[in-house]
Chains A and B, each alone.
Chain A
Amino acid sequence: MEHRDRISSLILLVFSFLVCVASYRLPVGIGSWHDPGPGFFPFWAGVIMGVLSFVAYLKALRIKGEDIGPWYSREKWKKVFWILVIIMAYAFVLERAGFVVSTFLLLFVLFRAVEGQRWGLAVGGSLAVAVLAYGIFDRWLKLQLPKGFWGF
């Protein structure tokens, strides 16, 4: 157990409490041993999880001494953050702009902005992958990828 376990166990404790409350408030609710309702399973899983998280918190409290440093990398956390933002944007753009355009943009941004590849490689590589993937998965494997309003 480490110092940082105090944070994680507390978060899990709060989460398990919310699960129990939500299970209790479901229609039909927890039910009984004789007739378990829809909330029965999540409720008891939540109770056990809460008890265990509390034990984990107590164990973490007993640890003395210095923290082992921040859990994120001081230099690189921005990169992780941006990657998450970019793929989240892809999820929202995909069905509007179509597969080929969104995929080209996704790869281009990842190659060029995040990793600083040369322009030629970023443009050419992204375009090649987007078109090739469209050909294989949509045309050949018939997976029906989204088309933008321009028809591809």
Chain B
Amino acid sequence: MDFLVNLQLGFSVILQPGNLFLCFLGCVMGTLVGVLPGLGPVAAISILLPSTYHMSPVSAIIMLAGIYYGAMYGGSTTSILVNIPGESASVITCLDGYQMARQGRAGAALGISAFGSFIAGTIATVLIMFAAPPLARIALVFGPPEYFSLMILGLAMLIYLATASMLKALIMACLGVVVGTIGTDPIHGVERFTFGSYTLMDGVGLVPVLMGLFGISEVLLTVEQSTQVDVYKTRIGKLLPTLEDWGKSIKPILRGTFIGFFIGILPGGTAVVSSFSAYIVEKKLSKYPEKFGTGVIEGVAAPEAANNSASQGSFIPLLTLGIPSNVVMAVLLGALLIQGVTPGPLLIKKYPEIFWGVIGSMYMGNFMLLLLNLPLIGIWVKLLKVPYAILFPMILFFCLLGVYTVNNSHIEIIIMIIFGGIGYLMKKFGYEGAPLVLAFVLSPMMENAFRQSLIMSAGGFGIFFSRPISLGLLLVTFVLLLLPLIPGLKKIPKGEPQ
């Protein structure tokens, strides 16, 4: 039993007091940003990224991973009690969750979403444990052409699932590629678009871009709207769902888990999309689809399970292929690279303590989150009552502090503010941030893979089409990008950008 030995290694990593504490800290931070509207896991991970530089790689990723799946737990609380999604993967939970709260069943809704998340998270961890090592072995045959095609497919998928307009998402992806080329060209050593700045010679940093697009711009937009958060005044009631609730929810939770996991491992698949898909599947399968949106518990259980298992499933492409499938994974990739660990097919072999440590931390983290989100729910509800006028200066301060400490450079603060302004305008004009960021992160990797492929083929472009895996990936990409041009075909459910 090979995997038992590995699992033991994982638990020995996570049970070290320091790692256990960081896992807990990540889960608390995740729940916190999940509960607070307007601040998502991306911003939280970026803020805490500099503090991980002094940690070991495995400790760093354990904490950052905890933030991501912790946010999935926390987001539902705000959706159910305030009817505002705490973070984007909980948008759909508002529909039935808030209605349940209005009917005095807030406790049951919160309870089932926490238990559903726990079940989904635990099953997803088991699935990762079994799916990742074989996938990594397959990925070993991938050469530069396959990697290039896979990254193109990942981008295409994200663009296809774009909320507003695919055209605009494509434009943003191109912009991301351009921003990603800023800095010193790795092959010729030529400086590109640096305008003589030393800071830009290493390229535009990931953290200032992210904090600008997802932190600063959110603050600016929220300040402008200044909606007063109105916590629904009700007794939360019993948190433990009744037997009847369980009977109705268990199948939706299991279906949501598998839908979420499958979408999570797809390149470009996000937790947002998974929660929408799970909701729609439940509505289709239900005996009373007309009641969805009036406070049925299935409408809370399925999407909350799905977003959790998707958030964990999306670790698979990162840990086996080294390719981030969404923005959060892009940040984690950055975190690992800073630590000198290159994720890819060899990661599980070369750094078993990282892979199995993360697996172990997911088991522990899900358990901690269940405790954090059920008995301690009152604390989070109180937090929702802190006025934004006090909250936003603090958020701004943490963004400034986080960006500055990356390289102790005030230029990075200025880059962040510029991207904050760009992000603000993008939201106003209906452009999404996610394709830009993913393209920005993938751009240097894509360029390398592209050039290496051309070196392999001595300049022949056919290399991308003559190798079967690469051809297959590119064909799927073309289909995805051409589908919307066919009239009468409706796009599948979409979510807000992460």
Chain A residues in contact with chain B, CB under 8 A? 1-2, 4-5, 7-8, 12, 15-16, 19, 22-23, 26-28, 32-39, 41-42, 45-46, 48-49, 52-53, 55-56, 59, 71-73, 76-77, 79-80, 83-84, 87-88, 90-92, 94-95, 103, 106-107, 110-111, 114-115, 117, 125, 129, 133, 137, 141-146
**B9 sits at the interface (CB 8 A):** no
Is the CB–CB distance between A117 and B178 below 8 Å? no
**B239 sits at the interface (CB 8 A):** no
B177: chain A residues within 8 A (beta carbon): 41-42, 45
A76 to B224, CA, bound (A): 6
CB nearest to B185 among chain A residues: A38
Q: How far is the CB of B444 from chain A (nearest CB, A)?
A: 9
**B469 sits at the interface (CB 8 A):** no
Q: How far is the CB of B298 from chain A (nearest CB, A)?
A: 36
A84: chain B residues within 8 A (beta carbon): 220, 417, 420-421
- Is the contact region of chain B dominated by helix, strand, or loop, or is it mixed? helix
CB nearest to A37 among chain B residues: B188
**B234 sits at the interface (CB 8 A):** no
A91 to B412, CA, bound (A): 9
Cβ contacts B392-434/A at 8 Å (1 or 0 each):
1110110011001100101001100100110011001111000
Is the CB–CB distance between A144 and B185 below 8 Å? no
Is the CB–CB distance between A49 and B394 below 8 Å? no
Partner of B188, one of A12, A38, A72, A117: A38
**B192 sits at the interface (CB 8 A):** yes
A56 to B430, CA, bound (A): 12
Across chains A and B, the number of contacting residue pairs, with CB separation under 8 Å, is 156
A72: chain B residues within 8 A (beta carbon): 224, 428
B461-494 contacts to A, CB under 8 A, are 461
Is the CB–CB distance between B413 and A94 below 8 Å? yes
Is the CB–CB distance between A49 and B178 below 8 Å? yes
A88 to B420, CA, bound (A): 11
A125 to B420, CA, bound (A): 25
6 cross-chain CB contacts under 8 A: A26-B190, A27-B190, A49-B171, A52-B167, A84-B421, A107-B397
Additional A-B contacts beyond A76-B226, A83-B220, A94-B410 (17; CB < 8 A)? A2-B430, A16-B174, A22-B193, A26-B190, A33-B461, A48-B170, A55-B167, A72-B428, A73-B225, A76-B224, A80-B224, A84-B220, A87-B216, A106-B393, A106-B396, A107-B393, A129-B394
The interface centre, meaning the residue of B175, B188, B389, B393 with most chain A CB atoms within 10 A of its CB, is: B393
**Stretch of B21-29, B122-130, B138-146, B447-455 at the chain-chain interface:** B447-455
Q: How far is the CB of A134 from chain B (nearest CB, A)?
A: 10
A46 to B176, CA, bound (A): 11
Is the CB–CB distance between B396 and A42 below 8 Å? no
Partner of B397, one of A8, A52, A59, A106: A106
Is the CB–CB distance between B193 and A38 below 8 Å? no
Is the CB–CB distance between B413 and A90 below 8 Å? yes
CB nearest to A32 among chain B residues: B459
Q: How far is the CB of A13 from chain B (nearest CB, A)?
A: 10
Q: A35-B459, A41-B450 in contact; A95/B410 too (CB < 8 A)? A: yes
Q: A38-B185, A90-B413 in contact; A52/B389 too (CB < 8 A)? A: no
Q: A22-B193, A83-B396 in contact; A5/B170 too (CB < 8 A)? A: no
Q: A42-B192, A52-B174, A79-B223 in contact; A103/B410 too (CB < 8 A)? A: no
Partner of B429, one of A8, A80, A91: A8
The interface centre, meaning the residue of A22, A37, A83, A111 with most chain B CB atoms within 10 A of its CB, is: A83
CB nearest to B405 among chain A residues: A143
Q: A41-B181, A76-B226, A110-B396 in contact; A83/B219 too (CB < 8 A)? A: yes
A117: chain B residues within 8 A (beta carbon): 389-390
Q: How far is the CB of B339 from chain A (nearest CB, A)?
A: 17
Q: A80-B220, A95-B410 in contact; A49/B167 too (CB < 8 A)? A: no
A35: chain B residues within 8 A (beta carbon): 454, 459
Q: How far is the CB of A125 from chain B (nearest CB, A)?
A: 8
Partner of A36, one of B165, B401, B446, B454: B454
Is the CB–CB distance between A141 and B174 below 8 Å? no
A133: chain B residues within 8 A (beta carbon): 397, 401
CB nearest to B461 among chain A residues: A33
CB nearest to B428 among chain A residues: A71
A88: chain B residues within 8 A (beta carbon): 414, 417
A80 to B428, CA, bound (A): 13
